[in-house]
Amino acid sequence: MPNANSKPWRRAIALADMNAFFASIEQLDDPALRGRPVAVTNGMRGSCIITCSYEARACGVKTTMRLRDALKLCPELVRKPARPQRYAEISSRIMHALGCITPLIEVFSVDEAFLDVTASQKMFGSVEAIGEHIKQVIYQVSGVRCSVGISEGKLSAKWAAKQNKPDGLTILPPEQVRAALAGRPVDELCGIARGIREHLARYGAHTCGDVAKLPMSVLAGRWGSIGRRLWSVCRGHDPAPLELDVAAPKSIGHGKVMPPDTRDADTVHTYLIHMAEKVAARLRKHNYEASRFYIGLRTRERWLEYQYRVMPTDSSSKLRRMCQHFLQQHWHGEGVFQVQITAQDPQPTGQQQDWLRPQRDQQRALHQVVDTINQRYGEFAIAPGVLLGRSDMPNVIAPAWRPEGHRATIEGARHVRKTGHHRQRRTAAGLPERIS
């Protein structure tokens, strides 16, 4: 075991795995459930157990078991219908907090994350200290306990985390990985399905140690790079990098509450243009364009709204023109309480051929200058004259914005572009900020 004086590892990967995540949240939110066996099911009709508390596990209840069978083992079992939004909310909170330890995080599932803590060793002094800190951070922000495994790669860290549940911390130093895995069945490694296990068994390979002794070609020939990785893991080294990408933002929007019942056309126009400038600047900052823009004005009774479909754009002037069109066509002087503009389908710039847009380069150069000045001197140091009368009231959350799966809401470092064949990875350098 390394200590504070030991040499830092060449690579250190941690896996944090929340314990009985959904059931733990049910117990946190309802103190009456604490210390009791709880099973989470899909609504009140779901017949299978999605997950259950450790109290239920102690009675032999397991995930995927039928509720009917579980009740035979544990008659006092409490059923709770799943609340996915609540779990996603806590998950987002946890993943965001982990970003304070390292920006290099792979959100592996709603309740698991890999952290590349190689560079954190210097600050914390040891991998044990990092592991303790991860557990503490998660507990502080969510009240949920977790198990942490730390090793030289993802698969060994994940295996290590499983060795000590719940609330465990397992350190598996790089030089001990091969020996630790040698006697273990190969399907103890994450992702080893029965088919792989059976195929390997034909070669007499049942344990990781057996696999390590096979020629690499046996695995590579059958499964390509996945086979090579498995072989390498069994020999004590997992080179797989963390997947730092997360899904592209679902939307980029800005909205603002207005003085109640505003009927003055200039004021409404100014608010709308202000939001348009903000949305366009944010698109450009993150190298996105969008082809669907929602514009909305909330009146006393309802939202006056329209969705524009255009060629993909990040242009302020195009957005301003949409706003003008919108006011002419869809607003007839009703009192307005709130404005909103949302780019609904942000995509990485450059998906469309540029010959479709001849003025594009000129416009892009102008935007670059304006954005650079504004980034240095503050938002709207340069802006259309109409914004001189803009409001400084706080922005509001877009009504169109919804957290679509927790990945989209995770703040911080891991920003993403993932669109069809176009895929970019951001690493520690030049991390972009949150888009929502």
**88 vs 134: CA distance, rounded Å:** 19
Report residue 42 as tokens: 């899909």
Residue located via tokens 């779990």:
87
Closest distance to Mg ion from the beta carbon of 53 (Å)? 12
| Residue closer to Mg ion, measured from CB, 49 or 341 | 49
Report residue 322 as tokens: 């949409």
9, 14, 16, 17: which one binds Mg ion (CB under 5 A): 17
Q: Is 112 a catalytic residue?
A: yes
Residue located via tokens 């200590």:
3
Closest distance to Mg ion from the beta carbon of 82 (Å)? 15
Q: Is 157 in the site for Mg ion (CB under 5 A)?
A: no
Residues whose CB is less than 8 angstroms from the CB of residue 286 and which lie 6 or more positions away in sequence, other chains included: 249, 252, 346, 415, 432, 435
86-125: which residues touch Mg ion (CB under 5 A)? 111
DSSP tag of 173: -
Interacting span for Mg ion (CB under 5 A) from 17-25, 72-80, 195-203, 209-217 = 17-25
353-372: which residues touch Mg ion (CB under 5 A)? none
DSSP tag of 291: E
Residue located via tokens 């909205």:
255
Closest distance to Mg ion from the beta carbon of 131 (Å)? 16
Cβ atoms of 143 and 198 within 8 Å: the answer is no
| Residue closer to Mg ion, measured from CB, 87 or 231 | 87
Catalytic residue among 26, 55, 106, 112: 112
Closest distance to Mg ion from the beta carbon of 67 (Å)? 20
| Residue closer to Mg ion, measured from CB, 64 or 225 | 64
Q: How many residues bind Mg ion (CB under 5 A)?
A: 3
Nearest to 52 by CA among 80, 73, 30: 80
Q: Is 161 in the site for Mg ion (CB under 5 A)?
A: no
| Residue closer to Mg ion, measured from CB, 17 or 277 | 17
| Residue closer to Mg ion, measured from CB, 111 or 314 | 111
Q: Is 210 in the site for Mg ion (CB under 5 A)?
A: no
Closest distance to Mg ion from the beta carbon of 333 (Å)? 56
Report residue 75 as tokens: 């008659």
Residue located via tokens 């730390």:
150
Instruction: Give φ, ψ of 241 to 5 degrees.
Output: -80, 160
> Between 245 and 284, how does the x/- string for binding to Mg ion read (CB under 5 A)?
----------------------------------------
Q: Is 238 in the site for Mg ion (CB under 5 A)?
A: no
Buried/exposed code over 131-154 (b: 16+ C-beta within 10 A; e: otherwise)? bebbbebbeebbebbbbbbbbbbb
| Residue closer to Mg ion, measured from CB, 148 or 290 | 148
23-52: which residues touch Mg ion (CB under 5 A)? none
Cis ω before 249 (30° cut-off from 0): no
**258 vs 129: CA distance, rounded Å:** 49
Nearest to 267 by CA among 256, 252, 277, 283: 256
Closest distance to Mg ion from the beta carbon of 129 (Å)? 23
Query: Contact residues for Mg ion (CB under 5 A)?
Result: 17-18, 111
State the catalytic residues. 112
